[in-house]
């Protein structure tokens, strides 16, 4: 029952959230919601022990696919978003053939190279990808009325509700996957790969599965971005954004489902709201870097370790400790 | 307020109304426009990151401009005098952040006009401009199209003015017969490549190779330069490379022994380039952006207010940071101020109408609103542009050349090359 109340209160807070924010903060909230899905999907890949530098490009595959499906074929936007995720997953399956011949550091570098090849293809083929300028005038999500609420997707609050619902469903699916036997096998592939192999687990197939699922959800996050901003270009999915994703994951921690999400939320709020409001706009890269270094030095297990300490202490405090004298 | 807006459907009128009310409720001075109140101007450009060199110096120039105008009594509108204040937002050259910044500047800060660098960031802002009717300016007229009725390019008709440098070179150094070119493969580099190709063709200078397009992530320019000069060209053209590329390319040209002519759109912080190479190597380097202490800018044709004083003050506050955009945003403000005073109002519609009524007071002389053929809309201010060369370590204006005159003679070549690179307004996806 208390768990149900906590979830209900959290949901109510998330619904009320945009109305307590300024217009520009609502905009940031939209991008934050999309990035939450991006970083959560990235964590699924890391469960198998592989860290990719191509995840943001895969996000771009979803964005480009969805944009082109609506622009060239007139596909209905929500359907194109879903197809964007499917295409991103399929591209990941294709990439897995060369990439999963490598492991660890080699996979990391290989994924970066694969991502760069995709980005160069977007630049090289102006038709249909728009070349260096990318694609603009991407169809927005069509407005509609849900009776109690008029969804005008130019308004950040409306898009936040839409993206929030999509991201919530995606996070629930990711959570269920992680807690399923498949998710446990992902962990086994990471921590006990020889043993898993000896037990009949096809390690490469599971790595491919994790890569494809993570890429599919990254693709959906890209599609959500494309149909909100209305424009995409190859530079929007370059290594700079990938560094941010890595930073969110490292600062938040990857041991728990919520770790990278926590990292994404905290660092985005600091970077986009706190530092700008403090008038330190041009100092942000410097301060952001310092925060990352300090968090690695003093919080090697990420922000999630603070939450874990707090929740463990509360759990211990809930049941009074027995003393020998008693 | 939001539910009210969404119920009625967001139009320009309801949007601006809601913005004004929101700004007033937040106690922002720019919203009420009472006599004596401050008028806020938005500055939405990259202030950090790789493209910051084309944002930050512009903001610094605008601060000086505002202080000078405010000290002289501010801007005189129908309801009295107003001071000017700049509100900046660092868009990091990212369309999503540019959209957020435009929303903040319009709906929270109550600005009357927004200046942008443009390029990759404009498509993210365009829906906001369409909804609100806010007047925006860009330094990159390749952002213009028939759909961008509230976007103007009043300072820089990039990259069309690059033709003047090539034309001057052909007339003054006729012995130069062959050229090669490199550029970063992006929205800034490609239209410039098309322009230089047209200019070289018009000048009868032979291109020895197709333009070498490198990835914007390139950091090692040794192989780029080796390939460039392998055909022994008379001219190496650096297109519109960012200063992060111009400097290492020039350094490589020096190290690899190139002795010919260099032409470039910009040569920001050229003193550092001289320090890395030599004064002899940089002698005669041709580009398009003067220092404002140049005596040639004291002519009666120049509309920029006190260019020499502006340059001195800029260098006193920001030594060694003068660049191509240091004066450009400020020159746009000169134009905006004149139009607002003519209209007697700072409202975007009134200023835009006054601005386009007759000839425009461009920094380098009176100019015409132009661009239907190339951009699909007459929202670019085009007239004369200076050709600058480095002489004994100092940039000097060699001549002012007319862009419309060149276009009247060779416009078909420009259109041909723009089409080949898919850069005409109707080819942009």
What would the two tokens of residue B322 be? 């003068």
String of b and e for A261-274 (b: at least 16 CB within 10 Å)?
bbbbbbbbeebbbe
Q: What is the DSSP letter of A320?
A: P
Upper half-sphere CA count for residue B29 (Cβ side, 13 Å): 13
pLDDT of residue A1: 62
Phi, psi of B44 (to 5 degrees): -115, 90
Cα–Cα distance between B31 and B23 in angstroms, integer? 6
pLDDT of residue A67: 97
Cα–Cα distance between B261 and B390 in angstroms, integer? 12
Check if B107 contacts A (Cβ < 8 Å). Answer: yes
Cα–Cα distance between B56 and B49 in angstroms, integer? 10
pLDDT of residue A197: 84
Number of separate helices (H) and strands (E) present in chain B? 16, 18
Q: Which of B91, B96, B213 should we substitute to test contact with A (largest number of A Cβ atoms within 10 Å)?
A: B96
Phi, psi of A300 (to 5 degrees): -60, -25
Q: What is the largest CA-CA distance in chain B?
A: 70
Judge whether B241 and B218 are in contact, CB under 8 Å.
no
> Can you give the C-alpha Rg of chain A in angstroms?
21
The tens digit of pLDDT for each residue in A103-113 reads 888 999 999 99
A residues 273-302 lying closer than 8 A (beta carbon) to B: 276, 281-282, 284-285
Q: Which residue in the block uniquely carries the two structure tokens 């994951």?
A: A249
pLDDT of residue A278: 87
Min distance A257 CA to chain B CA atoms (Å): 27
Residues of B in contact with A235 (CB under 8 A): 93, 120, 186, 216
What would the two tokens of residue A153 be? 């997707």
What three-state secondary structure class fits B122?
helix
CA of B104: which chain A residue's CA is closest? A24
Min distance B121 CA to chain A CA atoms (Å): 9
Q: What is the DSSP letter of B153?
A: B
Q: Give the residue among A6, A49, A4 at the shortest CA–CA distance from A210.
A: A49
Judge whether A180 and A172 are in contact, CB under 8 Å.
no
Min distance B373 CA to chain A CA atoms (Å): 20
Q: Which residues, including other chains, have CB under 8 Å from residue B172's CB and lie 6 or more apart?
A: B398
Check if B123 contacts A (Cβ < 8 Å). Answer: yes
Cα–Cα distance between B96 and A38 in angstroms, integer? 16
Check if A120 contacts B (Cβ < 8 Å). Answer: yes
DSSP for A163-217 reads HHHHHHHHHHHHHHHHHSHHHHHHHHHHH-HHHHHHTT--HHHHHHHHHHHHHHH
pLDDT of residue A316: 67
What would the two tokens of residue B153 be? 């390019």
pLDDT of residue A80: 97
Judge whether B41 and B114 are in contact, CB under 8 Å.
yes
What would the two tokens of residue A64 be? 């480009």
Count other C-beta atoms under 10 Å from residue A33's C-beta.
24
Confidence (pTM): 0.85
pLDDT of residue A325: 38
pLDDT of residue B429: 60
Closest to B47 (Cβ–Cβ): which among A134, A231, A281?
A281
The tens digit of pLDDT for each residue in B216-225 reads 878 899 999 9
Cα–Cα distance between B21 and A230 in angstroms, integer? 28
The tens digit of pLDDT for each residue in A237-253 reads 998 899 999 999 999 99
Check if B239 contacts A (Cβ < 8 Å). Answer: no
Upper half-sphere CA count for residue B234 (Cβ side, 13 Å): 13
Q: Give the residue among B84, B86, B30 at the shortest CA–CA distance from B56.
A: B86
Q: Which residue in the block uniquely carries the two structure tokens 């000078």?
A: B68
pLDDT band at A4 (very low <50, low <70, confident <90, very high): confident
Closest to A24 (Cβ–Cβ): which among B2, B108, B127?
B108
Q: Is the pLDDT of residue A140 over 90?
A: yes
pLDDT of residue A240: 86
The pLDDT of A273-293, averaged and rounded, is 85
CA angle centred on B352, ends B349 and B354, rounded to 5°: 105
Q: Give the residue among B226, B250, B227 at the shortest CA–CA distance from B238.
A: B250
Question: Starting at the edge strand that comes first in sequence, how are the strands of the sheet with B136-137 ordered?
Answer: B84-90, B39-45, B113-116, B136-137, B151-152
Phi, psi of B259 (to 5 degrees): -115, 0
Judge whether B211 and B182 are in contact, CB under 8 Å.
yes
Judge whether B417 and B198 are in contact, CB under 8 Å.
yes
First to last CA, chain A: 32
Check if B126 contacts A (Cβ < 8 Å). Answer: yes
Residues (pLDDT < 50) of chain B are: 1-11, 13-32
User: What is each CA distance from B126 to A195, B16, B156, B400, in whole angstroms?
Assistant: 56, 16, 20, 34
Residues of B in contact with A233 (CB under 8 A): 95, 120, 187
Cα–Cα distance between A63 and A220 in angstroms, integer? 8
DSSP-derived pairing of the beta strands B365-370 and B380-382: antiparallel
Cα–Cα distance between A85 and A103 in angstroms, integer? 25
Cα–Cα distance between A119 and A115 in angstroms, integer? 6
What three-state secondary structure class fits B224?
helix
């Amino acid at each position: 029952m208390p768990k149900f109340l906590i979830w209900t209160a959290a949901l109510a807070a998330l619904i009320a959230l945009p109305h307590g924010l300024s217009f520009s903060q609502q905009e940031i909230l939209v991008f934050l919601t999309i990035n939450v899905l991006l970083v959560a999907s990235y964590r699924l890949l890391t469960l198998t022990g592989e860290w990719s530098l191509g995840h943001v490009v895969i996000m771009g595959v979803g964005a480009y696919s969805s944009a082109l499906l609506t622009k060239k074929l007139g596909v209905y936007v929500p359907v194109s978003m879903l197809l964007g995720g499917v295409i991103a997953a399929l591209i990941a399956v294709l990439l897995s053939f060369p990439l999963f011949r490598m492991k660890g550091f080699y996979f990391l570098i290989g994924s970066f190279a694969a991502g760069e090849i995709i980005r160069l293809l977007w630049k090289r083929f102006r038709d249909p990808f728009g070349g260096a300028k990318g694609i603009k005038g991407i169809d927005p999500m069509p407005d509609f009325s849900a009776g109690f609420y008029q969804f005008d997707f130019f308004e950040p609050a409306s898009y936040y509700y839409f993206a929030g619902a999509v991201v919530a469903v995606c996070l629930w699916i990711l959570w269920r996957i992680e807690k399923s036997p498949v998710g446990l096998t992902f962990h086994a592939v990471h921590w006990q790969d020889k043993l898993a192999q000896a037990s009949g687990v096809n390690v490469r197939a599971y790595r491919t599965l994790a890569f494809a699922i993570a890429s599919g959800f990254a693709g959906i996050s890209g599609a959500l971005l494309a149909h909100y901003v209305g424009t995409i270009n190859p530079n929007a999915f370059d290594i700079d954004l990938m560094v941010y994703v890595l930073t969110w994951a490292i600062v938040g921690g990857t041991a728990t489902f919520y770790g990278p999400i926590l990292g994404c939320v905290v660092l985005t709020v600091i970077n986009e709201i706190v530092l700008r409001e403090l008038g330190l706009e041009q100092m942000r890269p410097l301060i952001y870097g310092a925060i990352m270094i300090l968090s690695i030095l003093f919080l090697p297990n990420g922000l999630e370790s603070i939450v874990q300490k707090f929740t463990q202490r509360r759990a211990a405090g809930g049941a009074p400790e027995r003393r020998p004298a008693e | 307020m939001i539910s009210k807006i969404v119920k009625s459907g967001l139009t320009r009128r309801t949007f601006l109304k809601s913005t004004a009310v929101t700004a007033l409720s937040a106690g922002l001075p720019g919203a009420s426009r009472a006599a004596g109140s401050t008028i806020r101007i938005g500055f939405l450009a990259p202030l950090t990151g790789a493209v910051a060199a084309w944002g930050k110096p512009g903001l610094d120039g605008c601060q000086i401009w505002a202080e000078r105008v405010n000290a002289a009594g501010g801007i005189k509108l129908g309801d009295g005098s107003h001071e000017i204040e700049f509100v900046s937002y660092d868009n990091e050259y990212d369309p999503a952040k540019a959209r957020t910044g435009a929303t903040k500047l319009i709906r929270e800060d109550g600005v009357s006009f927004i200046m942008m660098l443009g390029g990759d960031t404009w498509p993210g802002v365009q829906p906001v401009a369409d909804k609100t009717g806010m007047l925006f300016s860009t330094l990159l007229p390749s952002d213009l199209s028939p759909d961008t009725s509230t976007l103007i390019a009043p300072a820089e008709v990039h990259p069309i003015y690059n033709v003047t440098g090539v034309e001057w070179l052909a007339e003054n150094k006729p012995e130069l017969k062959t050229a090669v070119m490199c550029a970063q493969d992006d929205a800034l580099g490609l239209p410039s490549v098309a322009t230089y190709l047209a200019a070289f063709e018009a000048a009868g200078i032979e291109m020895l190779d197709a333009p070498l397009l490198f990835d914007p992530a390139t950091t090692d320019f040794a192989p780029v330069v080796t390939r460039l000069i392998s055909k022994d060209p008379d001219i190496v053209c650096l297109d519109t490379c960012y200063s992060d590329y111009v400097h290492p390319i020039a350094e490589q040209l020096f190290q690899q022994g190139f002795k010919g002519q260099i032409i470039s759109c910009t040569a920001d912080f050229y003193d550092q380039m001289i320090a890395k190479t030599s004064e002899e190597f940089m002698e005669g380097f041709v580009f398009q952006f003067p220092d404002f202490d140049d005596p040639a800018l004291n002519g009666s044709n120049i509309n920029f207010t006190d260019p020499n004083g502006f340059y001195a003050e800029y260098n006193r506050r920001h030594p060694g940071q003068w660049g191509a955009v240091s004066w450009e945003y400020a020159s746009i403000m000169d134009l905006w101020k004149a139009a607002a005073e003519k209209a007697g109002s700072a409202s975007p519609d009134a200023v835009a109408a006054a601005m386009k009524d007759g000839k425009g007071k461009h920094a380098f002389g009176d100019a015409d609103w132009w661009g239907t053929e190339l951009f699909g809309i007459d929202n670019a201010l085009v007239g004369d542009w200076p050709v600058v060369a480095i002489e004994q370590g100092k940039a000097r204006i060699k001549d002012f050349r007319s862009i419309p005159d060149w276009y009247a003679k060779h416009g078909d070549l420009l259109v041909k090359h723009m089409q080949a690179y898919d850069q005409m307004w109707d080819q942009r996806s």
